Chain A
Amino acid sequence: MELRLDGISHSYGETEVLRDVALDIPSGRIACLVGPSGCGKSTLLRFIGGLERPAEGRVLQQGAPPDGCLNPLTFVFQDFALLPWRTVRGNISLVLEDHGISGQAADAIIGDVLERTRLGDFAKALPRQLSGGMKQRVAIARALAVKPAVMLMDEPLSALDAQTRELLIDDLVRLWARTPFTAVYVTHNLAEAVRLGHLIVVLSRRPGRIRDIVELDKPIDQRGYADPDLDATQQHLWTLMRDEARAADAELIDG
């Protein structure tokens, strides 16, 4: 399933946040959205996932979602959004219960996603017992459980420390290499974007418009930590963004 964003514009009151964003997200690819803070990249992701409605423009799903898909557009949040009163297993079964999946069918799905995220031993743990990286892996397992057509990842690694982030990047690469999935990945971290993105969409500062789309041909499972090939791209992205990032930083929040 592919996604097409068609002329999306939006403002919150007087503040215009997005202007005429048009974008195609191809199937089986990870599209990274980068941009200075406050450029509306998270807002754009919420439009794609149907959690908010744009003032103008539409988000179109093209083609049917794959077989067995329970929730075509599935989020992974920055703050993990795990229910603290449910165990790891309970957090995953939460999203299956509403589809009438319980008992053995649920056990099979939960076992599979926990194994894919290497959480098999932690099914009975409560979120407060887990580290940040493990919590995010639970959230990723939960997203995988509904067999999404597109994963919408809202700064999924931003709440984690740098080392955990590296580990999680490897995990995501491994997951993608095993079964390629479509994803829209919002981040402000350019290193993450060049490691995980097949295409990197650079947004301008508020109101957010598409400034550039950079495609990376190197397969993501062959990209490594501090990869010289990626440095050039990262450098290029940073030159595109630096002045705007500085201007965005100097802006008053309600200005």
Chain B
Amino acid sequence: MASSTGTSDTGSEPGSREVRFRGGGFVPDTRRWVGFVVFAILIVIVEWGTRAGWISALTLPRPSDVLQTFQELYQSGLLFKHLLPSLTRLAVGAAIGVSLGIATGVLIGLFSYIRAGLAPLIAAIFPIPKIALLPLFVIWFGIDEGSKYALIAFGTFTPTVVATYGAVDNVDRSLIRMGQSFGLSWLSIVRKIVLPGAMPGILSGLRISLAIAIILLVAAEMLGAEYGIGAYILEAGSLYDLERLFAGVVILSILGVVVSAAVGWLERYLLSWRT
């Protein structure tokens, strides 16, 4: 590059110099492998530290031990005994919460009276930590699966509602006017213009609500669950068994990555018209 003093002789004539490039940047590129490298480096550092002794066994478990615990968990068949009920709770709870949330959000987006009535209510219940309501849900829905479904459903409901009605608000009004000008029925406008137009916003809301669902899943399973990842982590924690605790945490992380990838796949499939 030419030096900034301007005296370099990159040009053919004296006194001429090349224009300095100052554009570029500020555009995120896809660099998939960097994420894996960061993960790998962190794990290697912890492994090294625990083996060398400058990380004590009480602070962090050794990654290789966690992996071994994980293998034992898999071989004993306990992994699926814990994973299946958790996945069922996640799927049922999130399905109830998300579908009710989308329906409510669309209604708030479309009808002024429903918006005036429900939007403040949603704003009031959004910041409540849903975990605090778990005892109440146990009374309402019983200590079995009911209260767990309810907690996850309630936790995913509010962010879905907020994301959905924001997305409906953002649907291009000129497209709706177009639909009206061609005499499309109300239902057709909602189905063919409003819902597809709101889909990008609904899906980014879905990403957030599903992450919340995983957090609440663990909370729900800490009360009255024999099997489940939350129960497994709670048991390991009370025994101070760090290897098992971390094995459980790793399962949750993987679950988070898988859910996020699933939403990403859904976005690519449903929103292929965007890019």
Q: Which residues of A contact B197 (CB under 8 A)?
A: 85
Q: Is the CB of B188 within 8 A of A98?
A: yes
Answer whether residue B111 sits at the interface, using C-beta atoms and an 8 A cutoff: no
CB-based contact A51/B181 at 8 Å = yes
| Contact B174 A81, beta carbon cutoff 8 Å | yes
Q: Does A126 contact B (CB under 8 A)?
A: yes
Q: Does A185 contact B (CB under 8 A)?
A: no
Contacts of A85 in B (CB 8 A): 196-197, 271, 273
Q: Which residues in window 76-109 of A have CB below 8 A to B?
A: 77, 79, 81, 83-86, 94-95, 97-98
Q: Given A71-B182, A83-B175, A126–B273 Cβ distance below 8 Å?
A: yes
Interface of B (DSSP majority class) = helix
Q: Is the CB of A74 within 8 A of B182?
A: yes
Query: Is A79 a contact of B183 with CB atoms below 8 Å?
Result: no
Checking A86, A95, A126, A128 against B182 with a beta-carbon cut-off of 8 angstroms, the contacting residue is: A95
Docked-complex contact B182 and A51, CB < 8 angstroms: no
Contact with A along B233-275 (1 / 0, CB 8 A): 0000000000000000000000000000000000000010110
| B177 is an interface residue with CB less than 8 A from chain A | yes
Residue of B nearest to A148 (CB): B182
Decide if B184 touches A83 in the complex (CB within 8 Å): no
Name which residue of chain A comes closest to B175, CB basis: A81
Q: Are the C-beta atoms of B192 and A95 separated by less than 8 Å? A: no
- B133 adjacent to chain A (CB < 8 Å): no
Kindly supply a per-residue 1/0 record for chain B positions 166-193, scoring 1 wherever the CB is within 8 Å of any chain A CB and 0 otherwise. Answer: 0000000011011011111100100011
Contact between A83 and B193, CB atoms less than 8 A apart: yes
Interface residues in B, total, Cβ within 8 A:
18
Q: Give the complex CA separation of A49 and B178 in angstroms.
A: 11
A95 to B184, CA, bound (A): 7
**B192 proximity list for chain A (CB < 8 A):** 83, 94, 97
Complexed CA–CA distance, A245 and B235 (Å): 79
What's the Cα separation between A97 and B175 when bound, in Å? 16
Give which listed residue, A71, A81, A84, A86, contacts B183 with CB less than 8 A: A71
- Tell me whether A81 and B177 are in contact (CB under 8 A): yes
**Does A134 lie at the interface of the complex (its beta carbon under 8 Å from any beta carbon of B)?**
no
Q: Give the nearest-CB partner of B178 in chain A.
A: A81
The minimal Cβ–Cβ distance linking A234 to chain B, given in whole angstroms, is: 30
Show the binding face of B for A, using Cβ within 8 Å. Answer: 174-175, 177-178, 180-185, 188, 192-193, 196-197, 271, 273-274
A residues sitting closer than 8 Å to B (CB atoms) are 49, 51, 70-71, 73-75, 77, 79, 81, 83-86, 94-95, 97-98, 126, 128, 142, 146
19 more contacts with CB within 8 A, not counting A75-B178, A77-B174, A94-B182, are: A51-B180, A70-B183, A71-B181, A71-B182, A71-B183, A74-B181, A75-B181, A75-B182, A77-B177, A83-B192, A83-B193, A84-B274, A85-B197, A85-B273, A94-B184, A98-B182, A98-B184, A98-B185, A126-B273
Task: Enumerate the 4 nearest inter-chain pairs by beta-carbon distance, A residue then B residue, closest first.
Answer: A81-B178, A85-B273, A75-B181, A95-B182
Could you list 24 A-B pairs, sorted by A, with CB under 8 Å? A49-B181, A51-B180, A51-B181, A71-B181, A71-B182, A73-B181, A74-B181, A74-B182, A75-B182, A77-B177, A81-B175, A83-B175, A83-B193, A84-B273, A84-B274, A85-B196, A86-B273, A97-B188, A98-B184, A98-B185, A98-B188, A128-B273, A128-B274, A142-B182
